[in-house]
Amino acid sequence: MTNTILITGTSSGYGKATAELFHSRGWNVIATMRQPDPATFGSDSDRIRVLPLDVTNEDSIAALIGSVGPVDALVNNAGVGGVGAFEAMPMSLIRALIETNTIGVMAMCRAVIPQMRERRSGTIVNVTSSATLTPFPLAAAYTATKQAIEGFTGSLAHELGHFGVRVKLVEPGYAPTTRFGANALVPVERLLPGEYADFARPILEAFARPALTTEVDDVAEAVWNAVHDSEGQLRFPAGQDAVMLAQAT
């Protein structure tokens, strides 16, 4: 029987690459996004279902889970960005980051846990960030949303391990080729008051010319390894920069 994986946030970047990798290796793929576009995966998508999902909406989650049947793996990849001086971030932005990056992940886990627990099998992979591996300036609120999932995932792995369900973390590094900047809820320029200009300039310049980066395929492969891990490994850093940071901590 062919395994089925459900992946959130597959319109581009890590999610799209992960969907394509699992499809190429024989899995059925449920690829979700806020605004579904079947053309995302071209014509060779006989085992890919592209479905709508808003991880911040309980009705949207319930409708999806009710329509797709059993899933063998869930990858919580959907996320939004927010970079800038913390004091310049309105609380509405901070709450929006938490709603998607933290509560959205938890809500998706709650939605699939009952079926996995009953079958005593399945894997949940939560995608966080290398920002959890070392302090990054201008990313305080964003990092907080991802650090919350790091702690959540470690605890949940113990909780669900009793039922044969595995829970993993994939920690991508910095990938300039993804749409992370485009997915930022507020452009960074609007979140950098003049008082921060001298501080922010070298940081933004370094991000424009990174020494080491992460490719989307690095993340897809890390998700594959996490889903198929049988050694009890919790964390899977993805990309040269993330691996280097993980080794240094």
Residues classed as catalytic: 142
Determine contact, residues 124/109, Cβ cutoff 8 Å: yes
CA distance linking residue 100 with residue 97, whole number of Å:
6
CA distance linking residue 191 with residue 81, whole number of Å:
12
Place of tokens 């990858």: 75
Residue 45 CB partners (closer than 8 Å, separation 6+): 23, 38
CA angle 59/55/245 to nearest 5° reads 165
Query: What are the tokens at 203?
Result: 């940081």
